[in-house]
Structure 1
Amino acid sequence: MFSIDSHHITASSTAEAAEQLKSQLVSNDCQFVIGFCEAALLKALPGELNLTSPCLFTSSCLGSSNEQQLSLQQHSISMLQFKDKAGFYGVASSQASTDVRSAAAQTLLNAMEKSGRGHLSPQLIWCFQTPGQEEQVLLGIQDIVGTKVPVFGGSSADNTIEGQWGLHDGSKRLSHGFIIAVLYPSVPVLGYFGSGYELTGRSGTVTKVSGRKLQEIDGQPAVDVINTWRTQLGHPMLEDGNVLAASTMTPIARLKSSSDIPLLLLSHPAMASNGCLDLFSEVHPGETLHLASGSTRQLLERGPQVIRTARDIAKLRGMLSLEGAIIIFCGGCMLAIQNAMAEVQAAMAAELPDLPFIMGFTFGEQGTFSDGESRHGNLMISCTLFGGDRET
């Protein structure tokens, strides 16, 4: 019998919350645990949680949510506990490495070995990582299982974008690195990955880039080109310095489908300096970049819309019942509509009636588009649904 339980913990101190978490984890027999912690609380968790089941936690911007409660600017934890004695789960982690891709490949193999399924490809791979290495982690995973195994996850976040994020694999905390989980549940699972933004009709080609520093578009300084597009659409120009807030509604996008419904993979500009833009994800020479546009209304509506789409796909695939969900919601988008997040959480809960779920607010999102390939982006949202073994 497959089931999922969600738990949401809030406390007045990190020590109290950590004690509640330990008590909850020890008192429940389960096969897999996944959760989101407010950043300061994750740092306060004991190094060893004394668990017998595979476990992974990441820090989440300001807080987290389950189906019953949203906590922001509080010491909080949201987690799912999977009871699935017919399923198989494995978790492995890696700390700082000079060769992230190779380390990710080996970490995935370690997780697969720990699952008890050997080198059989999992139904789903989940990854949490600290920001800056997401593309290399994905490449390492795909070196082992190819590009058709869905990979979902999120990048660790903190409350002030100062690098105070972290991870926990049940036996140790990591301030830098990644955790990979392999899931072979006894029930169907699917995920949906989307943006909720639109194209503006402004685009150009990457002509110079170094890592995540976008230097030129169409042979011109990247900031100059972006500012030309912005002013044409009535937006103020980006000034040198932190541009995260200023660019949340007008990120850069790459078009990943030429169908009637475009699949937009977003990149969030972080800093502008000397004509260059530092991004939270990689772009490459020769790629076409678009200026995308969002609105407060779109950010308010996209969570429920993503869940509805995921549920529609589940029905088409014959998932007769649902048992729970994991939702990744970009931390930058959450900050842009922070005062309305209680309304958003309630609308999402209404789309998943009586179903347990958790939602975290990340500084990077990983997921699989409808073309079957998994990617890393920014300002994205995902919903991963777990089916049931009974008909509703």
Structure 2
Amino acid sequence: MRIRTMQAVGGDPEESVAELHRAFRSEDQRRPDFLALHFAVGTDAVGLHNAAIDKFGDGALHGGSSCLGIMTETGANIETGAAVGGLAIWDADGSYGTGSAELGNNAFKAAQQATEAAIVAAQRIGEVPDLVWLTVAPGREEQVVDGIRSVIGPSALIVGGSSADNDVSGQWAQFGPSQIHGDGVVVSALFPSTPGSSFYQSGYAPTGDSGRVTRVSGRRLFEIDGQPAAEVYHRWTGGSVSMANAEPLSILAETALCPLGRITREIAGVPFHLLAHPAVAYPDGSLDLFADLNHGDQIWQMQGSADSLVTRAGRIARQAREDAGGAISGALIVYCGGCMLAMRGRMDEVRSSIVDALGEVPWLGVFTFGEQGVPPGGAASHGNLMISCTAFGK
């Protein structure tokens, strides 16, 4: 297995793909067996897809938009809002396939269809991939994860992130070999010839405040302990998060370091919290989140810091590398877009922490509006403000 990453400033999709193509051709004259393209929405997704098909063919091509840009081992590229990053894998002894589908009115079924198409494209029908790399439009990620698991089993390694734009205006995009989507799911089934490892965690810890969900509808949280959710949350955060007046109020930036969390399991007596990021406060006291909650869930006020978000990325990357045997070919990093926006001025420190952990290997990092991965001791889940590192062994 060989892995190469490359980034382009972006803007012109044909020039960006041509730049990536020249770099990858200098590595290997063959087309990559797998190509992940992640990009900021300042580069047109349709043009990028068409140019990629022209240069690389319609094999295992996986595309998804990323908040403001991308990062690789050479730097974070978030200044123009149009950057493009690529990770190419050459692995003649492995198998790779990508499928995609519109979510439509049945996200579960769409995920099934995309997963089945990816396995067929990999020519490994009836087998379980070692890894599923996932890109999905924000909104129904839990249903998508369930759909994928229904095809490949409950213990499958599903890793990825929800596509993003630069300002939460809904301009995100996804594409597979044959289709471009605005509200779709892209699934890549990876059967690499080398072992790998993936870690999925957050950089947050619980405070002493906790309550029970007493009224919720999907991602709209109305009440905690029988009281308006926004009032409780405002109190828990010491008044640092605003409440809506006459109009709905975006609180996405204010809440990046103080999300809500629920315990999904305990490992050696230490609880693992899956996070939900509050995005909008409403005049009626309800909150919109980027993840589902259920009636009766016990939720905690969580707290993070800029320093914890710098160091956590490196710690997770180090765990993935060590678990993969120490020597790796490369990695895929998922770093929450909300965390990136909160850490925008310190992203080079984040990149450096990952480089220190992984060594001199190629890796591609994407900034997402929701993260999917497998928590320690658990099954594939969707959460917010999470970080993952998936390392490919040598």
TM-score, length-normalised on structure 2?
A: 0.92
Question: Where in structure 2 are the equivalents of 1:132-281 lying within 5 Å?
Answer: 132-231=139-238, 235-240=239-244, 241-259=249-267, 260-273=269-282, 274-281=284-291
Q: Within 1, Cα distance between the matches of 2:30 and 2:197?
A: 26
Q: Within 1, Cα distance between the matches of 2:286 and 2:21?
A: 46
C-alpha distance after superposition, 1:63-118 (max 9, x if no partner): 11111122112232111111111111111000141111012112211211111110
- Is residue 282 of structure 1 aligned with residue 292 of structure 2? yes
- Is residue 47 of structure 1 aligned with residue 18 of structure 2? no
Question: Where in structure 2 are the equivalents of 1:1-392 lying within 5 Å?
Answer: 2-11=1-10, 13-21=12-20, 28-43=30-45, 44-47=47-50, 49-50=53-54, 51-74=57-80, 75-231=82-238, 235-240=239-244, 241-259=249-267, 260-273=269-282, 274-314=284-324, 319=325, 321-388=327-394
Q: Any idea what SS the aligned residue of 2:237 has?
A: helix
**Per-residue deviation at 1:170?**
3.3
C-alpha distance after superposition, 1:178-226 (max 9, x if no partner): 1011111111021100001000021111111111101111111111221
**Per-residue deviation at 1:307?**
1.0
Q: Within 1, Cα distance between the matches of 2:277 and 2:236?
A: 16
Q: Within 1, Cα distance between the matches of 2:83 and 2:251?
A: 28
Q: Within 1, Cα distance between the matches of 2:388 and 2:49?
A: 30
Pick closer, same or farther for the CA change 1:11–1:365 going to 2, 3 Å: closer
Aligned length: 380
What letter corresponds to residue 292 of structure 1 in structure 2?
M
Q: Within 1, Cα distance between the matches of 2:100 and 2:10?
A: 28
Range with greater deviation from structure 2 (304-313 or 267-276): 304-313
Pick closer, same or farther for the CA change 1:96–1:372 going to 2, 3 Å: closer
Please say if residues 18 and 41 of structure 1, whose CA atoms lie closer than 8 Å, have aligned partners that are also in contact. Answer: no
Q: Any idea what SS the aligned residue of 2:111 has?
A: helix
Q: Within 2, Cα distance between the matches of 1:144 and 1:12?
A: 38
Q: Any idea what SS the aligned residue of 2:266 has?
A: coil
Q: Any idea what SS the aligned residue of 2:83 has?
A: strand
Please say if residues 150 and 372 of structure 1, whose CA atoms lie closer than 8 Å, have aligned partners that are also in contact. Answer: no
Please say if residues 281 and 378 of structure 1, whose CA atoms lie closer than 8 Å, have aligned partners that are also in contact. Answer: yes
What letter corresponds to residue 289 of structure 2 in structure 1?
L
Gaps of 5+ in 2: none
C-alpha distance after superposition, 1:89-148 (max 9, x if no partner): 111000141111012112211211111110211111111011112111001011122210
Q: Within 1, Cα distance between the matches of 2:212 and 2:206?
A: 15
CA RMSD of aligned residues (A): 1.7
Pick closer, same or farther for the CA change 1:258–1:350 going to 2, 3 Å: closer
**Per-residue deviation at 1:11?**
4.5
C-alpha distance after superposition, 1:283-306 (max 9, x if no partner): 111111110001111112111111
What letter corresponds to residue 67 of structure 1 in structure 2?
E
Please say if residues 37 and 59 of structure 1, whose CA atoms lie closer than 8 Å, have aligned partners that are also in contact. Answer: yes
What letter corresponds to residue 254 of structure 2 in structure 1?
A
What letter corresponds to residue 215 of structure 1 in structure 2?
F
Q: Any idea what SS the aligned residue of 2:271 has?
A: coil
Sequence identity percentage: 35
Q: Within 2, Cα distance between the matches of 1:204 and 1:86?
A: 51
Please say if residues 101 and 113 of structure 2, whose CA atoms lie closer than 8 Å, have aligned partners that are also in contact. Answer: no
Q: Within 2, Cα distance between the matches of 1:12 and 1:32?
A: 23
Q: Within 2, Cα distance between the matches of 1:296 and 1:283?
A: 26
Q: Any idea what SS the aligned residue of 1:256 has?
A: strand
C-alpha distance after superposition, 1:262-320 (max 9, x if no partner): 21111000001111000001011111111000111111211111112223333xxxx25
**Per-residue deviation at 1:374?**
0.6
Gaps of 5+ in 1: none
Q: Within 2, Cα distance between the matches of 1:364 and 1:223?
A: 21
Q: Any idea what SS the aligned residue of 1:47 has?
A: helix
Q: Any idea what SS the aligned residue of 2:270 has?
A: coil
Q: Within 2, Cα distance between the matches of 1:12 and 1:210?
A: 39
Pick closer, same or farther for the CA change 1:108–1:338 going to 2, 3 Å: same
**Per-residue deviation at 1:9?**
1.6
Range with greater deviation from structure 2 (41-50 or 151-160): 41-50
Range with greater deviation from structure 2 (280-289 or 252-261): 252-261
Q: Within 2, Cα distance between the matches of 1:320 and 1:215?
A: 47
